[in-house]
Amino acid sequence: MANHLSAKKRIRQTEARKEHNRYYAKTMRHAVKKLRGVSEKKEANELYPKIASMLDKLAKTNVIHKNKAANLKSSLSKHVQSL
């Protein structure tokens, strides 16, 4: 167990960040799954820019890696174009 005040604070900060990151990562996964399940081109064209923006923001704040965001955006773009 931590003895120093700074170590205790670090534990609190880490826990808060973990909860924050888990929420946004889970939200991102649901959004990607929703877009992959869409079969109408019009609906997919409306959803894709929102999800791409979400991925960029998560990569910028280091919730997900920038290459993962790029790979997801690429595969989702291919999916939207194939409809």
Chunked in runs of 10, what are the mean pLDDT values of the chain (83 residues)? 88 95 96 94 94 96 95 95 91
Q: What is the pLDDT of residue 8?
A: 92
Nearest CA to 31 among 82, 83, 71, 72? 72
Helix, strand, coil percent content, the chain, rounded in steps of 5? 85, 0, 15
Q: Model pTM?
A: 0.82
- pLDDT of 3: 85
Please report the pLDDT score of residue 1 as a whole number: 72
Query: What does the alpha-carbon distance between residue 11 and residue 72 come to, in Å, rounded to a whole number?
Result: 32
Closest CA to 52 of 40, 37, 65, 70: 70
CATH numbers and ranges of domains, the chain: 5-82 (1.20.58.110)
What is the pLDDT at residue 36? 94
